[in-house]
Every structure is written in structure tokens, then in C-alpha cells.
Amino acid sequence: MTNKHLEHALWLYNETTDNKSEIARRIKKEYGLEESINSIRKRVARYIKRQESKGLVDECEEVGIPVDKVKHYWYKGKHYSINVKGENGVSYDEIRDELIDEMKEHAPEYPTIVRQKVVDGHLLVVDPADIHIGKLATSLETGEEYNSQIAVQRVKDGVQGILDKSEGFNIDKILFVAGNDILHIDTPDRKTTKGTPQDTDGMWYENFLVAKRLYVEVVEMLLAIADVHFVFNPSNHDYTNGFFLADTISTWFMNCANITFDVSINHRKYYRYGNNLIGTTHGDTGKLADLPLLMAQEANNDWAKAKHKYIYTHHVHHKMSKDHIGVTVESLRSPSGTDGWHHRQGYAHAPKAVEGFVHHKTHGQVARITHLF
């Protein structure tokens, strides 16, 4: 980058936006720079800081302190002193933008799979609910072990088990339900989104990367069978990082023509397959009895075209199913282990499982598949 580029970046910062990732994108596009957006953003941020704090920069250079490392400082003058506190780090938006930009630059190329037309096809719903990567349970306290490694292996085994058990059906589409507390914590201090402390295995960023690798591997397993629709449900343990993760996965597969995504932050998602209307939601907000009417309002066009209606919920980690005048509302089991708090409260011993469902285009749900642990 030249001074011309940096001066333009400073003008954008002063006149249009203070989002440095957005500034970096504009500079890269306008001047056709080969540098990555992340590299441009860092150079722009350093330049802006130097222009805004020239006196501080001069002092740091004189004593050999990197100005980028200075977050707060105390200026002592002849007649007054000033305590200056810097920005509280990079914003969530900037972290997300930087991550997505990097993913776009390195997203792999997936060759398009041309599939033969399936006669009398079926939809396979694969729904590994409430995985809680990062949860820690020990047999000394709860009678069972659970950690990130066990979580990953259970999901892989569960998804493969569902695929094996569904071989007798002509699967022409897979609905993969993601989110739903895929991550156990949402903050660096090992808490959920609302601040509830958790027993954890690993740091938040380690768990994020583990979950990313798991989702990529699972989606690739599913793509070997049929085209995939990936739907994300936001949830209470990882409301922020769960969304970042889903958006990251959609960017990873941006060059794959055999998968579609719904990774919006909406709490309830809907998907129609022939005569089936399928809703998914985490289940921590809203009353279960209200979900059918919400479906009728929020998916009214598909509601009118579908004969068979189902809503799959999560959150409670155990099985419940009830018919609400033409709509089946069902909560799914979880493969995750029981941690100390739930064991002390007596919320324990529900069967651990990954579940799936087979839907015929005309006749609705024709099979339920459970892979138990």
C-alpha cells in the first residue's frame, strides 16, 4: 500500500464509516490491491491511530514501545494530567467481517455433483441436537465422561448411523439442522450468552474451531448422498458465536452448487418438501403450544400447500411429542453428556442420541431414525 491508499482510507474513516474492515474492502476493490483484506485492515488501523495520536506515536517511537500495543495512557502536562482510555478492542462486527473475508479468499472449490433423478424420492432430516462442544462432565461427579473429543465422535457416529439406517429409502434431499447449542459457551470467561458460568473443556476459540471442522466434515458426508439444505437455529448457550459459526460454514461452501443455506438470525425456520412443511426452532423462546399458530402466520404460503406439518424443537435434551390439531411438535434427544449442575438438579439419565427423520413427498413422515449412545 502507498500513502495515497492510506490517505484515502483516512478520508473514508473520517467521512463515511469507522468500520475498518469495510474501509479495507473498499480500498482493495478500488485499487485492485493483491494484499488480503485482513492485511489491509491492519495497516489502515495503524495509520489511523498514528494520525489521531501523533504525540503518543512520537513518544512511543522515542522509547521503543510499539504504539499498537498501547491501549491506555496517562498524559502528564505542566498544568494538568489526562488519563486516556482507548477503544475496548475490535467490535464483533469487525471480527465477523474479517473472518468472512478471509474465508472468501480461501474457500475451497467443490465440483458440482450431477445426480440422477430420483423416482419416489424422500427427504432425510439430520438433526444432531444440543451438541454442546466445550461441555465438561466427569464420571467421578456425574457417572459419565463428556468433553469436546467425545462430542465430535458422537456426532460423526450418529450422522453416519442415520445415513446407514436410511439406505433403504430413495433420498433426494437432506435437511441438516445446525446450531441449537452447538457450542457450550459464548464468552471468553466461560459463560453462556446471558452470563451463566459453565464447566468447560478448552477455550472458546478452540471449541469454535473444533465445531467448524466438525460441520465441514459432516456436510461433506451428507453431500456424498444428496444435495443439502443447511438451516441454522440460534440458541441460548451460544447466540453470538453460534451465528458466526453458521455464517462461516456458509462461506466455506460458497463455491459448492449442491448446498443451500438459511443462516439468518430468525428464531424459527421453515422448509417445505412436497406435501411436508417442516419447522425448526431451538425451543428456549416461545411456548411450544404456540408454535403451530406461529407457523401458520410466518409460513402462510407453504402452510396452504402442505398437508403434513411438523415442528422439531431442541433445548430440553429429552423426547416429547404432541399433536396440535394437524401439527406434530416434537423435541429431540441430545448426544451430550450430563454436567455437574444438571446432575445435581436431577436432570439426568435421558437417553443420549442423534435423531433423524424420513419424509415422503406425498405421504409425510414415514420413518424415524435414532442412533443411541
Give the residue extent of every domain in the chain. Answer: 3-94, 118-372
Residue with cell 478492542: 89
Rounded Cα distance, 195 and 285, in Å? 17
Task: Please report, rounded to a whole number, the percentage of residues in the chain having pLDDT higher than 70.
Answer: 88
Residue 62 has pLDDT above 60, yes or no: yes
Task: Tell me the mean pLDDT in the region 85-101.
Answer: 62
Rounded Cα distance, 60 and 48, in Å? 16
Residues 6 or more apart whose CB falls under 8 angstroms from that of 11 comprise none
Kindly report the number of other CB atoms within 10 A of residue 83's CB atom: 9
Task: Tell me the mean pLDDT in the region 276-301.
Answer: 96
Phi, psi of 251 (to 5 degrees): -75, -40
Residue 241 has pLDDT above 60, yes or no: yes
Residue 91: per-residue pLDDT: 58
Residue 46: per-residue pLDDT: 81
Global confidence as pTM? 0.77
Domain 118-372 has CATH 3.60.21.10: yes
DSSP letter string, 269-336: EEEEETTEEEEEE-SSSS-GGGHHHHHHHHTHHHHHH-SEEEEEE-SS-S-EEEEETTEEEEE----P
Q: Please give the angle made by the CA atoms of 295, 297 and 301, to the nearest 5 degrees.
A: 90
Residue 90 has pLDDT above 60, yes or no: no
pLDDT-derived band at 229 (thresholds 50, 70, 90) equals very high
Q: Where are the strands (E) in 52-108, listed by range?
A: 72-76, 81-85
pLDDT-derived band at 75 (thresholds 50, 70, 90) equals low
Residue 177 has pLDDT above 70, yes or no: yes
Residue 81 has pLDDT above 80, yes or no: no
Residue 87 has pLDDT above 70, yes or no: no
Per the model's pLDDT, the better-predicted residue between 178 and 10 turns out to be 178
Identity of the amino acid at 359:
H
Residue 342 has pLDDT above 70, yes or no: yes
Residue 372 has pLDDT above 70, yes or no: yes
Q: Which of the residue ranges 51-60, 103-112, 236-245 would you say has the lowest mean pLDDT?
A: 51-60
Task: Tell me the mean pLDDT in the region 283-310.
Answer: 96
Residues 6 or more apart whose CB falls under 8 angstroms from that of 211 comprise 131, 133, 182, 183, 245
pLDDT in tens, 11-48: 998 889 888 888 988 988 889 998 888 788 888 888 88
Residue 149: per-residue pLDDT: 97
Residue 41: per-residue pLDDT: 85
Residues 6 or more apart whose CB falls under 8 angstroms from that of 246 comprise 178, 179, 230, 232, 261, 263
